[in-house]
Amino acid sequence: MVRTLLYLLGGLLLGLVIHLVVILILPRISENAAYTQVASIEALNRTTLLALPKAGEANPLHLDPDMSYGLCKLDLSAGPGEVTGTLPLAFWSVAVYDSTGTVLYSTTNRDGIGQTLDLGIFDPAQTRLLAEQKIDISPGLLIVEARTDEVFVVVRLAPPHPSVRDRYEAQLERLACRNIAI
Amino acid sequence: MLVVALGVGFGLSWYALSDGRLFGASQYGPWVTWTRAGAPEPDPYTRAFITRNAALQLGQAEGLTLVATTDSDGRRLDRACRYRVDGRTPTSTFWTLIPVDDHDGSVARPDGPPGFHSSRIARSNDGSMQLYFSKTLSPLNWIELTGDGPFSLVLTLYDTVIFSGVGASETATLPSIIRESC
């Protein structure tokens, strides 16, 4: 009886260890994370509209069918990244993701940045150079520090009416997404 | 002992990343949300959830997604029934409410709107709303469901103040989901 209880207790403790290991290593070993899914989309150094799934189709990225999405991928090993352009007069927001799908930074145009998006993304080494004023950037650039060199940016735009969606998406697609020459 | 360990380890991990209420998720009536999913430094459970969910999470500044899989009485949402979403939503610039299947695809009628948008619904004089989801004709604001089986409701609040320090009163304004008939 005592031995059985000890086995159960041992199993419980070992189970808790397995649980903690699973939780901690899942982000490292998963092949189905958001970054893996956007990896197949051609969006390096350019803004690509994400296709919204039709009714009944699977929606692995959990896109909101009422929104329009612009995706751009940046490799900061080639230099700091920037996403810049003018967006339509409607609600929009921007989020910078690292390679684990974690949101590093996000903001909306309700935060006083109006219609113009001017976002700079720097890795830790580039941020140091920036602090030492060894990189020239345009004034007013929103500065985001990324932990990894592989990042992606998603701009969400809310067309006020379905009839203007195409026009708004065309403007969204014109956002510049590139590395800054240093 | 090994069976207990594996059962506890993987079972607890599965529970933590699906239901998750004892770990990183919060529940308000039928609505469940991972409040740290859009944070730059999520806790390990939220990080594992982000990986498993593989969605483009909204950043904290962009908004918050809440998901209901049951009605306010705890019964699984079923497309054979008629539901009324009744009440108010927390303060936000706008919100969308989409009925989805297990693959997050909209289960609304393909040639109609994919769900409700806060700017395109009829409200009562006091600002409250009654939104219907069913396969049969319903009054006021109605989204026609298609297919059979369970579904979920995804409420996305854009630019919301739900957790900005006035949390208790704001989360109390989440709407109820009432099953009217089956």
- Kind plus residue range of the DSSP H or E element containing A78: none
pLDDT at B105 over 60: yes
**What is the mean predicted confidence (pLDDT) over B48-56?**
85
With contacts defined as CB-CB under 8 Å, which chain A residues touch B96? 64, 66-67
Burial class (CB in 10 A: 0-12, 13-18, 19+), A64: buried
Indicate the DSSP class of residue A126.
H
pLDDT of residue B75: 95
Using the beta-carbon criterion (under 8 Å), do A14 and B9 form an inter-chain contact?
yes
Are B77 and B107 in contact by the 8 Å Cβ rule? The answer is no
Task: List the structure tokens of B100.
Answer: 């989805």
Strands, sheet with B176-181, edge to edge from the N-terminal-most edge strand: B141-144, B129-134, B82-87, B176-181
CA-to-CA separations, B140 to A51, A160, B19, in angstroms, rounded: 31, 22, 33
pLDDT of residue B170: 60
Distance, in angstroms, between B139 CA and closest chain A CA? 23
Instruction: Read off the pLDDT of residues B59-104 as tens digits, 9 standing for 90 and up.
Output: 988 999 999 999 999 999 999 999 999 998 888 899 999 999 998 8
- Kind plus residue range of the DSSP H or E element containing A45: none
Instruction: Read off the pLDDT of residues B125-160 as tens digits, 9 standing for 90 and up.
Output: 888 899 999 998 888 899 999 999 999 999 999 988
Give the residue among A157, A158, A162 at the shortest CA–CA distance from A174.
Answer: A157
Indicate the DSSP class of residue A109.
G
- CA dist., res. A115 & res. A16, Å (int): 50
Q: Which residue has the higher pLDDT, A15 or B4?
A: A15
Using the beta-carbon criterion (under 8 Å), do B6 and A15 form an inter-chain contact?
yes
Topology (CATH level 3) of domain A34-179? Immunoglobulin-like (2.60.40)
Q: pLDDT in tens for each of the 182 residues of chain A?
A: 788 888 888 888 888 888 888 888 877 777 777 888 888 888 889 999 999 888 778 898 999 999 999 999 999 998 899 999 999 888 999 999 988 888 999 999 876 667 888 999 999 989 888 888 777 777 778 889 998 899 999 999 999 888 899 999 999 999 999 998 77
- CA dist., res. B172 & res. B31, Å (int): 11
- Kind plus residue range of the DSSP H or E element containing A173: helix A165-173
Give the residue among A96, A84, A91 at the shortest CA–CA distance from A179.
Answer: A84
Output the pTM of the full model.
0.88
Are B69 and B152 in contact by the 8 Å Cβ rule? The answer is yes
Phi and psi at residue A177, to the nearest 5°: -140, 110
- CA dist., res. A20 & res. A30, Å (int): 16
pLDDT at B166 over 50: no
CA-to-CA separations, A23 to A4, A58, B24, B51, B119, in angstroms, rounded: 28, 26, 12, 10, 40
pLDDT of residue A22: 82
Nearest chain B Cα to A65, which residue?
A: B114
**How would you write chain B as a 3-class SS string?**
CHHHHHHHHHHHHHHHHHCCCCCCEEEECCEEEECCCCCCCCCHHHHHHHHHHCCCCCCCCCEEEEEECECCCCCECECCCEEEEEECCCCCCEEEEEEECCCCCECECCCCCCCEEHHHCCCCCCCCEEEEEECCCCCCEEEEECCCCECEEEEEEECCCCCCCCHHHHHCCCCEEEEEEC
Are B158 and B64 in contact by the 8 Å Cβ rule? The answer is no
Task: List the structure tokens of A31.
Answer: 């092949």
> Could you say which of B2, B48, B105 has the minimum Cβ distance to residue A23?
B48
In total, the C-beta contacts within 8 angstroms joining chain A to chain B are 204
Indicate the DSSP class of residue A62.
-
Nearest chain B Cα to A145, which residue?
A: B40
pLDDT of residue B68: 95
Instruction: Read off the pLDDT of residues A53-104 as tens digits, 9 standing for 90 and up.
Output: 887 788 989 999 999 999 999 999 988 999 999 998 889 999 999 888 889 9
- CA dist., res. B176 & res. B166, Å (int): 20
> Could you say which of B96, B105, B159 has the minimum Cβ distance to residue A66?
B96
pLDDT of residue B1: 77
- CA dist., res. B162 & res. B178, Å (int): 22
Nearest chain A Cα to B110, which residue?
A: A55
Nearest chain A Cα to B16, which residue?
A: A23
Q: Which residue has the higher pLDDT, A116 or B8?
A: A116
- CA dist., res. A89 & res. A84, Å (int): 16
pLDDT of residue B13: 75
ipTM for this model: 0.85
Distance, in angstroms, between B21 CA and closest chain A CA? 15
Distance, in angstroms, between A171 CA and closest chain B CA? 20
